[in-house]
Structure formats: C-alpha cells, structure tokens
Structure 1
Amino acid sequence: MAGHSKWANIKRQKARVDAKKGKTFTQLSRAIIVAARNGIADIDGNFQLRTAVEKAKAAGIPNDNIERAIAKGAGTYNDGEANLEEIRYEGYGMGGVAVLIEALTDNRNRTAADIREAFSKNGGNLGETGCVSWMFDHKGVVLLEGEIDEDKLLEISLEADAQSYEMIDEEDYQGAEIFTDVTNLENLNQHLGEYFTVKEAELRWIPNNFVEITDSEQTKYLLRLMDALESLDDVQNVTANFELVEN
C-alpha cells in the first residue's frame, strides 16, 4: 500500500528554500464561500466547508470574517460582490513540466491575464483546457502529524478504504499522508482521526508521472513560477509534476 507524493515533498523543499507565505485571507475566505455554496451552510453536515473553516482558523482569520464568508456562500449575505466561479487552468513550465491551477474568481479575464503573465515571465506557457490534466489524478488526502505507528496506520487505512500512504520523516516534520478516492475522504478522515492527529484533509491533484529537474536555472524559474501563481488571490491551489534532483 505504501505510496509516494513527490509533489508534497517538493512543496516542503520549496517552503524551506523560499520561506513560502501562507494563503491569504482572500484565498481562504473564498474557499469557505464556495464550500458553503456547493453544500449546506453547516460545518457539521458539510465536510468541504468544515475543512475550509479549519484552515481559515489556523491562519488566524477572525470568526466574524468566517461567518460572513459562510453567509455569502449560503446567499444570506449580500455586499454587492459578483459571484465566484471555480475555474481550472493548465499550462507548462520550463523543462516541459505540467502545471495545474485551481482558481476562484469573479472576473475570468483578469484571472486568465494574471496567470498568463506569471507563466510568460517565468519561461512557461498557459495552455488549453485538458492539455495537462490527463497527467493528474484527483484524490482525497489526509495529512497526519507526529510519530506514526506504521503497522497501525496500515490497519486503519485498509479498514477505511485508503489507496496508498507515504510516511514523512524529515527534520522539520514527522507524520504521514494517506490517499483515497475523492468520495471517501470524509470517511478516511474520521477513521484516522480516532487514532492519529489529523493536520489537514483536502482534495488534491496528484501527478501520475514526474519530470526530473537537475538544471539549476530551470529549478529557479520553476520555483519562481510556483510562487508567482500561488501569490495570486484568485488562485487556490497549484500542482506541478516536477521532482528536484540534486546533482
């Protein structure tokens, strides 16, 4: 059952190298709005909303802001803002690296222009819908933290219909990532939460193949591209299929 999530490793490497900033209040608030709009406006009955609210609280967003975002998603709060739309963008970075971007926007033209500029300034190209998404699988991911008994993890993961897992044993993080079907994420999260400390549960695009990057110039531009995309308020998540390899 053991598996690997190289992109998660890349993001951890990148966080150390670039001191990557967390998501902005705007990004986290928009995730709450969409989650409330797509389901019921109750964290107990809406897993997507509950995870969005947990991330917002962890980032220090005030409760008033969270409640207002939930109300916007439920349609019970109107401040004249345009409705948010979920859009996926796809493109290529240097070295033929595939990049998948999930965005929430109230202005398609602005978002597309900002994303296109991020690609063009960093040696990449924004592509057509479907140009790289076939290289990714949409999965539910539960991130655990702390020391993990791998035998117990395997037992619980099998009981909860997980597909694979990866142990994380790094200087600044101990834990594991467990992968499952999108529809099974809440079930897996509940099972694991009874035995381990769950840091995060989310839907994520997982690359099914990787491009090894050994050139320092390509590495610089790829990491710069990731930063440029992630810094945009309209962008919620960025995934790419490169693996940094030290010479």
Structure 2
Amino acid sequence: MAGHSKFANIKHRKERQDAKKGKIFTKLGREIAVAVKAGGPDPELNTKLKDVVAKCKANNMPNDTISRSIKKAAGEGDNVSYESIVYEGYGPNGVAVIVECLTDNKNRTAANVRHAFTKGGGNMGTSGCVSFMFDKKGEIIIEKSDGMDEDEMMMLALDAGAEDFEAEEEGYVVITTPEDFGAVSDAINAVDIQPISAEVKMIPQTTTELTSDEDLKKMQKMLDLLEDDDDVQDVWHNWAE
C-alpha cells in the first residue's frame, strides 16, 4: 500500500512546510478552532480534535501552542466562523487533485483555487470528479531509529487497530481507518515515538507520471500557489513525485 518514494516525498513536503512554519501553525490553529466548535475542547471526547492534535504534534507544533489554540477556540473571543469546502480538479496530464479548505469567504477561496489550477495548466472540476480515485485513511509514518524493533512496532500498531503495516528502508508506514486513527496514534505516542507524519488523508489508488519539464513546472507551480493560500488546509493528488 505504501509507495517506494513515500519517505522522500514526506521529507520534501516537510522541508517546504518548515520554511513556512508560521503559516502551517496558523492553518493548524484554524483546524483546531473548527474541531473545538464542532465537538468541544476535550480531545478525549472530541475525535476530530484528537486527530487534529496528532497532526499538530507530527508537525512539531509546541504543546503550549496547541493548548492556547484550544482555549482560544473554546472561549468567546474568536467569533470567526469557518466553512469547510472541498474542490476537485485536474493538473497537467490529468493528475487528480483534491483541495481541502477552511474559509470565511467562499468567493475569495474559490477564485484563488481556480487561479492556482489555471496557472498549473489544469482545471477545476465538479464535486466528486476525482475523489472516487482516493481512499480516506489514517496514515502514520515513523522514521527508523536505533533500538526500534520492527516486529514490536508491527504488533503495537496492529493491536491498536491498524489496517496495514509496511516496513520500508527508512522506516514504517502505518495505515488505519479514519475511525481508528486516534487510537493507533495514541498507542504509538505512548511509547515515546514521534511520527514524522500523522494525519487522516486522501490516499490515491493509482498514480500519474509527469515526464515533461513543462508539466513538472506547472504541477509544482499549482502546489506552491495552493500551499501558500491561507484558506487551503490540505492538497491531495496522485502525481507520482
């Protein structure tokens, strides 16, 4: 289930995010706010918030920053209401793209996302046009370290409810259902292992290759524009990077 270049892709993505850490924390704070308003400030009683906290920790968001964001969202001071919107479309050579947004201005967000698709040589499609090509799964990626036993890691993950466990040269990929993601994350964190990535995401069933320099530049342009947009929370695609 895991791709051969998954670790390279994750590290490349995290390097880009680390360069924009302030923006990433702002986006995660927005996710916390939406989760708290939907289900309350206690992660043990709010599954969505629990999943967002796991994602925050994997992005090295400090615990006190997470706590402040939860308290702010639970208070009366933050009255901004965000709406969740998902856009779907195609990049160069038919690459399938899903863009998940949280916005307080749908018109602005739609215009910006459409602009990114156009600049990337693609086009926005209708709802559902590419999402059927993805599976919604929890994915936890763990980098190997000294003293980490593969069999113990596998049993820990599977006993906690993981669907799949795959060992790669650089580490381990744990796949869960969205419902079991929180429990598996907790089990891994309980043994003081910090994943390099942990989130519920859209995993492509198949991938699309880009071979021309022009297509590669356009696809990267699209991703850069989308990731720089404050309203865009996540971008999923089936480009075989």
The normalised TM-score by structure 2 is 0.83
Shift of 1:122: 1.4
Equivalent residue letter for 1:176: Y
- Per-residue CA deviations over 1:28-58 (Å, capped at 9, x if unaligned) read 2211101112222123433432453562783
Residues 50 and 182, structure 2, Cα contact 8 Å, conserved in 1:
no
Shift of 1:185: 0.8
In structure 1, what is the equivalent of residue 181 of structure 2? 185
Q: Tell me if 1:234 matches 2:236.
A: no
Q: Tell me if 1:128 matches 2:126.
A: yes
In structure 1, what is the equivalent of residue 157 of structure 2? 157
Shift of 1:149: 2.3
Shift of 1:150: 2.1
% same residue: 35
Determine the C-alpha separation between the residues in 1 that align with 2:188 and 2:79.
41
Change (3 A) 1:15 1:44: closer
In structure 2, what is the equivalent of residue 88 of structure 1? 86
- Per-residue CA deviations over 1:100-128 (Å, capped at 9, x if unaligned) read 11100001111000000011111011111
Determine the C-alpha separation between the residues in 2 that align with 1:51 and 1:161.
15
Determine the C-alpha separation between the residues in 1 that align with 2:14 and 2:212.
19
Equivalent residue letter for 2:199: E
What is the 5 A alignment of 1:11-50? 11-13=10-12, 21-22=20-21, 23-50=23-50
- Per-residue CA deviations over 1:64-95 (Å, capped at 9, x if unaligned) read x853x435543x324553x1011111010001
What is the 5 A alignment of 1:52-131? 52-53=52-53, 55=56, 58-59=60-61, 63=65, 67=68, 69-71=69-71, 73-74=73-74, 76-81=75-80, 83-131=81-129
Greater share of strand residues, 1 or 2?
1
Residues 210 and 241, structure 1, Cα contact 8 Å, conserved in 2:
yes
Change (3 A) 1:179 1:196: farther
Change (3 A) 1:225 1:103: same
The normalised TM-score by structure 1 is 0.81
SS at match of 1:139: strand
In structure 2, what is the equivalent of residue 175 of structure 1? 171
In structure 1, what is the equivalent of residue 198 of structure 2? 201
Q: Tell me if 1:224 matches 2:221.
A: yes
Residues 144 and 196, structure 1, Cα contact 8 Å, conserved in 2:
no
Determine the C-alpha separation between the residues in 1 that align with 2:99 and 2:226.
8
Shift of 1:181: 0.5
Equivalent residue letter for 1:183: E
Determine the C-alpha separation between the residues in 2 that align with 1:16 and 1:53.
20
RMSD over aligned Cα, in angstroms?
A: 2.8
Change (3 A) 1:157 1:71: closer
Query: For structure 1, which segment, 216-225 or 109-118, has the greater mean C-alpha deviation from structure 2 after superposition?
Result: 216-225
Q: Specify every segment of 5 or more residues in structure 2 that has no aligned partner in the other structure, as ranges.
A: none
Change (3 A) 1:139 1:92: same
Determine the C-alpha separation between the residues in 2 that align with 1:32 and 1:70.
6
SS at match of 2:180: helix
Residues 89 and 123, structure 2, Cα contact 8 Å, conserved in 1:
yes
Residues 164 and 178, structure 1, Cα contact 8 Å, conserved in 2:
yes
Determine the C-alpha separation between the residues in 1 that align with 2:26 and 2:17.
21
Equivalent residue letter for 1:85: E
Number of equivalent positions: 234
Change (3 A) 1:20 1:222: farther
